[in-house]
Amino acid sequence: MDLSRPSRTGRKDIELRRVTDLPTYVFDVVDRWKAEAVAEDRDIIDFGIGSHDLGTPEPAIERLVAEARDPARHGYPSSAGLPELRHELARWYAGRYAVTIDPETQALVTWGASEALSHLPWVLLGPGDTALVPGPCYPIHSYAILFSGARPMPVPMLAPAARPDDTAGGEAGVVEESAGGHAEAGSIAADDPEATPEDHDEALFERFVAAHAAARPRPRVALLSFPHNPTTRCVEVGFFERLVDFARETDLVIVHDFAYADIAFDGYRPPSILQVAGADEVAVELVSLSKSHNMAGWRLGMVAGRQEIVAALRRLKSYLDYGVTTPVQLMALTALRECTDTPPRMAATYQRRRDALCAGLRDIGWPVPYPRGTMFVWAPLPAAQRAMGSLAFARHLFDAAGIAVSPGIGFGPEGEGHVRFALVQPEARIREALVRLAPALRAG
């Protein structure tokens, strides 16, 4: 397109920056499918977007309403966040991970984790720099790096034996047994039932070191997230210990997106990188109430860790915004203090849904891994449909069964060969979806 060509109104088309080279957002395509289906009055069971279907805890809602009615709360908030909320974050780390953070210098309130993910690269990276990101990844993980002018370099989350062109693992090529007896994505080898989580972490760490060594120039930042969206990959604390040591040796900054800190299953407890001694010298961690307390729409996140990085982000935000709405911050404070039963209830809900979906898919001939964490199931394409690719397969499920899923290609080329189910449907709808899926798999 010639951007200097005069338009029909006689004006030249405006030359835009940063957005002109962005590819079509695959999830926008799926949204268009859903919009067309709604217009046709079709019933779609939507496993596409990871937006929870359950409500925010009532005490938090009541606090929000009360504070919103107070004119004293209607002014500009502080860009750093309320001191009492930052102190509550420090108490959360201390009580859960025995981690000490300074709420004055090592904590910051943000407009959700995605806002922090978008702006942290602005203070850490610039044109010509490189940064390590998961491959595949939640889209903002790579695009935040691109928006800063740097280049994202993927660290493969899936082991070679877990890629869709490898059939060593059986019909689906990626069904691998974990120590807990369920299949887990991203393991060492599909035919190695003796491999432990630590073995899998060792293999992942080797891929991380190899990606770092191959990047030119050497990366300044590694942006990671465990439990990982979309692959559901989990790690033990030993992985973070090695990562922190490596970051010290290489002057690497670690940004850890801990969005699924509270959503884990089968007794697994996701570690915080900050529980590693000295991690606050090389890392910052992002936490959010979106998944644990069903507060995705209210946009409340927090950053903790290395003092200089927190201070830099705080300074940048002082130019960009005046901080999160005060009633929303007080709502979050109530959620953390009074709704401590909500995160375990949410994890139990997602585990029941996981079990219903994974067991049901296996029963109809589609073996999928059981995740240890996140609110997703990362499913390899069935062998009979593998050649279709993830986007065409997602369209097939949509047309043939009225089921919406996220195509793996939407998370980057490393995600091809998979689709992602979000566990945002009640068990009754999951069972209905399984009934619809069985003939759709035979017809594909």
pLDDT of residue 198: 87
Q: Which of 275, 324, 257 is nearest to 295 (CA)?
A: 324
Mean pLDDT within 328-339? 96
Pairing mode, strands 406-407 and 418-422 = antiparallel
Q: How much of the chain exceeds pLDDT 70, in percent?
A: 89
pLDDT of residue 30: 86
Q: Which helix (H) or strand (E) holds 303?
A: strand 301-305
- Is residue 2 pLDDT above 80, yes or no? no
Structure token digits, residue 288: 């959010």
Greater model confidence, 9 or 163: 9
Greater model confidence, 22 or 110: 110
Given pLDDT bands bounded at 50, 70 and 90, which one contains residue 375? very high
Which pairs with CB-CB distance under 8 Å and at least 24 residues apart come from 31-40? Answer: 33/395, 33/398, 33/404, 34/404, 37/398, 37/402
pLDDT of residue 192: 55
Query: Which phi and psi (to 5°) does residue 23 adopt?
Result: -70, 165
378-391 pLDDT, tens digit per residue, is 999 999 999 999 99
- Is residue 122 pLDDT above 90, yes or no? yes
pLDDT of residue 243: 98
pLDDT of residue 358: 98
Distance of alpha carbon 315 from alpha carbon 302, whole angstroms: 15
What secondary structure letter does DSSP report for 74?
A: S
- Is residue 183 pLDDT above 50, yes or no? no
Given pLDDT bands bounded at 50, 70 and 90, which one contains residue 443? confident
Distance of alpha carbon 33 from alpha carbon 404, whole angstroms: 9
259-299 pLDDT, tens digit per residue, is 999 999 999 999 999 999 999 999 999 999 999 989 988 99
Q: What is the mean pLDDT of the chain?
A: 89
pLDDT of residue 444: 63
Q: Structural domains in the chain? A: 26-55+343-443 (3.90.1150.10), 58-339 (3.40.640.10)
Mean pLDDT within 321-329? 92
Given pLDDT bands bounded at 50, 70 and 90, which one contains residue 187? very low
Q: Which helix (H) or strand (E) holds 287?
A: strand 283-288
